[in-house]
C-alpha cells in the first residue's frame, strides 16, 4: 500500500497543474524513495519530468513500487476543491484501483479517484548536453513570454556575452527583451559558447504553470537543441520540462 501526507495540500495542487498543462493522463510511480512521473505531451514536442521525494512529505509510507495511472483533468478538478491550511493525504491500497485524496482542515473531506490501467512503461529522459544555463526569476520569464505572444507564435532565445535575449517577430510586429546581470534580473549565467534557438510560445506559456511552485526558473539550452526548464520548489522535489526546438525557416 501507499500512503503519503503533505503538510500543505496546495503543493500537490500546483504539481498537478504543472503536469496537466501538458498531458491528459500519466502514471505516477510511487516507491520507497518518493513519487515520480515522466510524460510526453500528445504531440511529442514537450515532456514533463516530475519528482517529489519522500523528504517533501510530512509522512510517507510505500513498501514497494506501485504504478498510479491518473486522468489529470479529473485529478485537477478534485484539487481545485482544496483551500488554504489543509493537509493532503494520498492513499492507495494494493488491491484497489482507486486513489483516496483526503483534505484535512476544518473538516476531513475524502475523494476517491478511479485509476487508469496504463501499464508502467517508464520513459527515459532525453540525452542532451547544454551550452548555456540561465537562472532567472520565473516572473521575468513569464513577462517576456507574454511580450512575445503579442507579435508571434514562437520566440528566439539567445544567450551571449552574459546576457539573455528573447526576441519575436511576425506580421503583427517585433519585440526584443534583454535581460542582463547588471539589472539583477539574470541571477546567474554559465555558458560554454553562445547559443540561440527558436521555441514555440504555446508550449512555453503552458510550461510556466510550474511558476506557482518556484519563483526561480533555470533555463538550459544549446543552439537548435531542446530546452530544459527547471523549477525546484523550496519544499523539495522538481518539475523539469523539455521542449523541442523549432527549426529556422529555410
Q: What residues make contact with other proteins under the rule CB under 8 A?
A: 23-26, 39-40, 42-47, 71, 97, 114, 116-119, 121, 123-124, 126-128, 200, 225-226, 242, 244-247, 249
Q: How far is the CB of 204 from other proteins (least distance, A)?
A: 13
| CA separation for the pair 87, 108 (Å, rounded) | 9
Q: Cβ closer to other proteins: 215 or 224?
A: 224
Q: Output the nine-digit C-alpha cell for 172.
A: 503583427
Q: Cβ closer to other proteins: 126 or 173?
A: 126
Q: Output the nine-digit C-alpha cell for 217.
A: 526558473
Q: How far is the CB of 149 from other proteins (least distance, A)?
A: 17
**Are 21 and 114 a contacting pair, CB within 8 Å?**
no
From 89, 133, 87, select the one nearest 111 (Cα to Cα): 89
For 91-102, b/e burial (b = at least 16 CB within 10 A) is bbeeeeeebebb
Q: How far is the CB of 88 from other proteins (least distance, A)?
A: 23
Q: Cβ closer to other proteins: 47 or 217?
A: 47
Q: Cβ closer to other proteins: 26 or 233?
A: 26
For 24-45, b/e burial (b = at least 16 CB within 10 A) is ebbbbbbeeebbbbbbebeeeb
Amino acid at each position: 500500500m501507499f500512503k503519503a501526507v503533505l503538510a500543505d495540500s496546495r503543493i500537490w495542487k500546483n504539481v498537478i497543474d504543472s503536469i496537466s498543462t501538458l498531458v491528459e493522463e500519466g502514471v505516477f510511480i510511487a516507491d520507497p524513495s518518493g513519487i515520480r512521473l515522466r510524460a510526453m505531451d500528445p504531440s511529442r514536442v514537450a515532456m514533463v519530468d516530475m519528482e517529489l521525494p519522500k523528504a517533501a512529505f510530512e509522512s510517507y509510507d510505500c513498501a514497494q513500487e506501485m504504478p498510479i495511472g491518473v486522468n489529470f483533468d479529473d485529478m485537477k478538478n478534485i484539487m481545485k476543491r482544496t483551500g488554504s491550511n489543509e493537509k493532503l493525504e494520498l492513499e492507495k491500497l494494493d488491491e484497489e484501483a482507486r486513489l483516496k485524496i483526503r483534505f484535512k482542515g476544518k473538516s476531513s473531506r475524502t475523494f476517491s479517484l478511479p485509476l487508469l490501467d496504463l501499464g508502467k512503461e517508464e520513459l527515459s529522459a532525453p540525452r542532451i548536453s547544454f551550452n548555456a544555463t540561465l537562472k532567472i526569476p520565473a516572473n521575468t520569464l513569464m513577462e517576456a513570454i507574454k511580450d512575445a505572444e503579442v507579435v508571434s507564435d514562437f520566440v528566439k532565445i539567445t544567450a551571449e556575452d552574459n546576457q539573455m535575449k528573447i526576441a519575436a517577430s511576425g506580421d503583427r510586429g517585433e519585440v526584443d527583451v534583454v535581460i542582463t546581470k547588471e539589472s539583477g534580473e539574470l541571477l546567474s549565467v554559465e555558458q560554454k559558447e553562445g547559443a540561440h534557438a527558436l521555441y514555440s510560445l504555446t508550449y512555453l506559456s503552458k510550461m510556466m504553470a510550474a511558476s506557482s511552485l518556484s519563483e526561480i526558473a533555470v533555463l538550459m539550452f544549446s543552439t537548435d537543441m531542446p530546452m530544459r526548464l527547471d523549477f525546484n520548489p523550496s519544499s523539495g522535489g522538481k518539475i523539469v520540462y523539455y521542449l523541442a526546438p523549432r527549426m529556422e525557416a529555410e
